[in-house]
């Protein structure tokens, strides 16, 4: 089974890789807007401009496709945020990262929430494989935040003795909770308050 999965997920040609990437990117967009349950094979087929047989050539079932979407969304988030987090050398840099997170949510009016958070709410209780994939994604995100904080604390300010692990979890939780409330309330007030409170604690 593992060998067959690896074969499907590693196209041998550039055209095959482009087709698979298009399927995953389109599925990610549809699942972000409509949820995993609301994303059907016909809708994906039409939106991606592929055949159903092409979808099933690369993905044995919807669960496998969903895990590919989780990987896609995780890589997109880290590609957007990790470079900033890797350069945290001051509180101003940490606040600049906070502004990127808030501005992205504000531009959407809160719509959609977090692509990983939304999938987690939908899938975690009844899809163990998706839950494990999402847990790994949140761990990777939290690790990027933690490494950024360690870079900040290495400068000797503001609190070199601070617990980077717990503060990274607090910032990640602030992002997730804040984006959930932004989705419900169509305002980033809660997201800003949560992030600002954690950052103020770091600056204490």
- Position 159 scores a pLDDT of 62
One domain for residues 15 and 81 = no
> Would 198 be classed as within a structural domain?
yes
Domain that holds residue 185: 70-204
Alpha carbon 147 to chain centroid distance? 17
- Position 157 scores a pLDDT of 62
The answer for residues whose C-beta is within 8 angstroms of residue 201's C-beta and 6 or more apart is 167, 170
- Position 121 scores a pLDDT of 95
Bigger pLDDT: 140 or 2? Answer: 140
Distance from the first to the final alpha carbon of the chain: 52
One domain for residues 55 and 76 = no
Q: Mean pLDDT score of the chain, rounded to an integer? A: 91
Q: Does pLDDT of 156 surpass 90?
A: no
Measure the CA angle with vertex 9, ends 23 and 172; round to 5°: 75
| Structure-block tokens of residue 57 | 């050539």
One domain for residues 201 and 121 = yes
- Position 158 scores a pLDDT of 62
- Position 2 scores a pLDDT of 43
Q: How confident is the model at residue 193 (pLDDT cuts 50, 70, 90)?
A: very high
> Would 65 be classed as within a structural domain?
no
Q: How confident is the model at residue 160 (pLDDT cuts 50, 70, 90)?
A: low
Burial of 35 (0-12, 13-18, 19+ CB in 10 A): middle
One domain for residues 130 and 199 = yes
- Position 154 scores a pLDDT of 86
pTM here is 0.89
One domain for residues 18 and 80 = no
pLDDT tens per residue across span 59-116: 999 999 999 999 999 999 999 999 999 988 899 999 999 999 999 999 988 888 999 9
SS3 13: coil
**Domains held by the chain: number:** 2
What is the arithmetic mean of pLDDT over 27-48? Answer: 97
- Position 77 scores a pLDDT of 95
Q: Which of the listed residues 60, 85, 104 is the one where a domain comes to its end?
A: 60
């Amino acid at each position: 089974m593992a060998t067959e999965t690896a074969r499907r997920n590693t196209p041998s040609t550039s055209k095959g890789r482009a087709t698979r990437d298009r399927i995953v990117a389109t599925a990610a967009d549809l699942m972000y807007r409509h949820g995993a349950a609301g994303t059907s094979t016909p809708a994906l087929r039409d939106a991606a401009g592929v055949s159903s047989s092409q979808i099933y050539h690369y993905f044995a079932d919807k669960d496998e496709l969903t895990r590919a979407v989780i990987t896609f969304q995780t890589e997109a988030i880290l590609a957007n945020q990790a470079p900033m987090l890797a350069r945290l050398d001051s509180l101003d840099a940490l606040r600049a990262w906070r502004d990127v997170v808030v501005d992205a949510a504000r531009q959407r009016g809160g719509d959609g929430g977090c692509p990983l958070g939304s999938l987690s709410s939908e899938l975690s209780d009844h899809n163990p494989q998706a839950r494990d994939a999402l847990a790994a994604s949140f761990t990777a995100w939290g690790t990027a935040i933690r490494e950024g904080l360690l870079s900040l604390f290495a400068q000797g300010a503001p609190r070199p003795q601070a617990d980077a692990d717990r503060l990274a979890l607090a910032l990640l939780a602030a992002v997730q909770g804040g984006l959930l409330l932004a989705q419900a309330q169509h305002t980033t007030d809660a997201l800003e308050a949560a992030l600002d409170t954690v950052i103020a604690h770091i600056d204490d």
